[in-house]
Chain A
Amino acid sequence: MGTIKRAYLYVTRKKGKSILLFFILLLMATFVLTGLSIAKSSQEEQRNLREVLGGEFQIVTDLSDNNPYAKKTVDSEGSVELYTEYPITQKVIDNVMTIDGIKSYNAETHTFVSVNLDVFPGNVPIKAEYNNLIYAWSVIDTQTTNFFQSEKFKLVEGEHITENKSNAAIISNALAEKNGLKLGDTISIQSDSTATAKIIGIYEILKPDPLYENIVTYEKAENQIFIDFQTLQNLFGNIPAGFGSVTFDVSDPAQLDNIISNVKKLSTIDWRAFEVTTNNETYLEAAAPLQKVQTLVITMIIIIVFVSAIILSLVLTMWGRSRIHETGIFLSLGIAKVKIIGQYLTEVLMIAVFAFGFSYLTSNTVVNQLANELLQQTASASKEQTEIVTQINGYSSDGISISVKDSSSLPDASQQQKNNVDVEIPAVGTETEETQLHTTVSTCSILQLYIIGIAIIIFSVGVSTLTIMRLKPREILSKMS
C-alpha cells in the first residue's frame, strides 16, 4: 500500500482529528492570508500614490561664488547683471535624461526683451527703460509650462513650441489683436542682440490678472510671449544661452534619492555650476500611514508564522505520541522511515489543501475590516504628519490643491500629471473623508499562503516525528507494548 493511500485512509477514518486539524490550519491560514493581503494592498496603494504624486527634482544654475563659471557685470548706473558661462543647455538635460527612472522634464527660462509691438501697460510706475520691456519665456515645450498646465492660458490658434522648432513665438490673442498680427507673421525681439520669430501659436487668457492688482507691464498676462531655445540663443549673441532651471519628473518618488545620486555621478557635467533640489515630501508624508500599516502587517505575519509553527508542532507531537504504536507496526513491516514521515506529512497537506482554500472565504470577510482598523490606528499616530502635508499644500500655491479622497478613486497617473491641477491624495485622520484600504485576497497572496503554509507544515511534521524516528523499531515496539 502506498504512502498516499495510507494517508488518505487515516484522514478519512480519523474524522475527529482531521476536522480539528482542519480548523487549526484554517485559523492559521486565515491570519496569514489576511496579513499577506493587507500587506499587498498597502504596497499597491503606495505604488498608486507614488504614480499619482510622482516626485521631482530641479537643477538650478548656481550664481553664487561657488560656481567658477558665474560672472557678474556692473553697468555705469550700478545695475548688476549675473550670468554663467556654463548654463543648463540641452546637452546637460540630455545627459541627465540618460538616467533610468526619469520620466520627463520641463526646462524654462525667462528674460527681459523689447519687441516691436504695442504692449499693454501695467498700473505700477517703474523706471522708463522698463516700460516697454516684457518677459520672453524660452521653453522646450510650451505645453508643459505652468501657464498651460494650470489652464491659465489656452492655445486657441496654431501649435505649441516643441523641441524641434526654431525662430518661433507664441503670443496672446489680446496682443495679436492690438497689433494686428496673425499666425505666420514675424515679430522682432531685442535683448543683447536682435532676433526675429514667426508667430506659430496664439493663446487665450482663461484666468486674467485680478482687476485691481498692482501689476507691472512685463508681468501682465497679455504681454507674455513664448519663444524657442534657438531664438533665445540668437537674442544672447555670443553669451551662451541656457535655462535657469530644469524640473525633472520621476515616476517613482521612492527612488528619488537613488536617481539624484546617479545623476550627480554623471562625469560629463561639472556639478560646481549647478544646484540640485528635490521634492518628494508630499509623497513621503502621504505614504507614511500606509508604510506603517505595511510594517505592522509584516511584523504580524512573522509572528503568526512562528506561533502557527509552534502550535502545529505541539499538536502534531502530541498526536505523534499516540501514534507510536502505528509507527512501530509500520517499521516492523519494513516500511521505510522516510515513507512513514511522508505519510504523516501527506495527511496534514491533504487537510491543508482544503483549509487553505477555504481560508480564501474567511480572509475575504475579515480582511477589509482589519485593514481599515489597522489604518485607523496608524492614522491617529500620523495625524500630525497629515497636518504637515496640508501645510505643504499651503506652500504649493501655484495651482496645486490637495484634497482628501478615497484612494480607490484616484485618477489615472498620466492624466493627473497632464492636468496638474488637483492632486488628490489619500490621507487619514482628517475630518472630511477617510482613506480606505480596499483589500481583496489575490491569487498571488493565496500562492504565498500555500508556500508559507507548506513550509510551516514540513517544519512541524519534522519536529513532531523527530523523537519517534530516532528510536529503533524494537524500542518503539517495546514502548507500545
Chain B
Amino acid sequence: MSILEVKEILYAYKNGKSILSNINAEFEAGKMYAILGASGSGKTTLLSLIGGLDVPKKGEILFEQENILQRGLEYYRCNHVSLIFQSYNLIDYMTPIENAELTAKKDVLPILERLGLTCEEVKRNVMKLSGGQQQRVAIARALSADTPIILADEPTGNLDEDTAVSIINILKESAHKLNKCVIVVTHSNELAAQADIVLKLERGNLHTI
C-alpha cells in the first residue's frame, strides 16, 4: 500500500509556463525511488510539491490517503517528510549535533556516529566540516526527525565519487532497513541505478522506466 500518492498534479510558473502536467505516482515505504530528468524538467519543483514547500495549481498530494493540506503544510513538513538538499542547508552557527537536533524526535548522537562522524567532529561548527561530512549531517537531521518520507534533491551533486557512493548506500539502507520511503531527485544514472524504482520526468510527465 502506498504511503504517498500524487494525483493529477499540475504546476505552472507565475509567467504561465506549465512545468508539470497531470503527474500521477504512488510511493511505498521501504523503497528507494529515483526521479531522473534533464535540467529544467521540473524535478526540483515536483520534489518541492511532494515536500510541502509549495502547492500545486491543480491536483492533490495524499499522505496515507489524506490530502497534505488537510492538516497544513507546516504540520506535514514537521511530521511526515524530511528534506535533504544538494547544498546541505545546514545552520551555519550550529554544530552537527545541534543541526540534527533541530527537528529530532530521537537521540541524534548514535545516528551521527553511524553515519561516520567522530565525537570530535559532531561538536565542531558544521562549516568546518567537509562537503561529504556536511551531507551526512543533513542526512542525520532527516533520519533523526524520524519521518516516514525522506526527499533528497541531488544529494551527491557536490560530492566526490567515493563519498557519493557512501551517501547513496546510507539512503538505500534508510529505505530498506529503516522502512523509509526515500525519493531521490537526480540526473545521475549511477545513483538512479541503485534505486528500487526509477521514474523519469519528461515534458511535464512522469513515467516509470
Contacts and interface: CB of A to CB of B under 8 A. Distances in A.
Contact of A332 (B75, B79, B89): B89
Chain B's interface size range is 20 to 34
Interface string B80-94: 011101010111111
**Residue among A9, A14, A331, A334 with the highest chain B CB neighbour number at 10 A:** A334
Interface stretch (A37-45, A190-198, A393-401, A472-480): A472-480
B89 A329 contact: yes
Contacts of A1: 98, 101-104
B163 interface: no
Interface string B40-53: 00000000100101
Contacts of A473: 53-54, 73, 77
Interface in B165-180: none
A333 interface: yes
B78 A334 contact: yes
B64 interface: no
A9 B53 contact: no
B103 A326 contact: no
B76 interface: yes
B74 interface: yes
B93 A334 contact: no
Nearest to A477: B53
A333 B84 CA distance: 10
Interface in A311-364: 325-326, 328-337
A328 B75 CA distance: 16
Interface residues of A, number: 23
A9 B94 contact: yes
A333 B78 CA distance: 6
A13 interface: yes
Given A472-B53, A474-B53, A332 B94 contact: no
A334 B75 contact: yes
A481 interface: yes
A409 B81 CA distance: 73
B173 to A, nearest CB: 22
Given A9-B94, A329-B91, A334 B77 contact: yes
Contacts of A335: 78, 102-103
A332 B141 CA distance: 12
A333 B48 contact: no
A147 interface: no
Contact of B102 (A10, A333, A474): A333
Interface string A429-461: 000000000000000000000000000000000
Contact of B53 (A325, A332, A336): A332
A351 to B, nearest CB: 15
B148 to A, nearest CB: 14
Interface string B112-145: 0000000000000100000000000000010001
Contacts of B48: 474, 477
Contact of A9 (B78, B83, B90, B98): B98
A332 B93 contact: no
Nearest to B75: A334
A80 B84 CA distance: 111
Contacts of A477: 48, 53
Listed from nearest, the 3 A-B pairs whose CB atoms lie closest are A334-B78, A334-B77, A13-B93
Given A13-B94, A331-B77, A335-B78, 4 more contacts: A329-B90, A334-B77, A336-B74, A474-B53
18 contacts: A1-B101, A1-B102, A6-B102, A9-B94, A9-B98, A325-B89, A326-B91, A329-B89, A332-B89, A333-B78, A333-B102, A333-B103, A333-B141, A335-B78, A335-B103, A472-B53, A473-B54, A474-B54
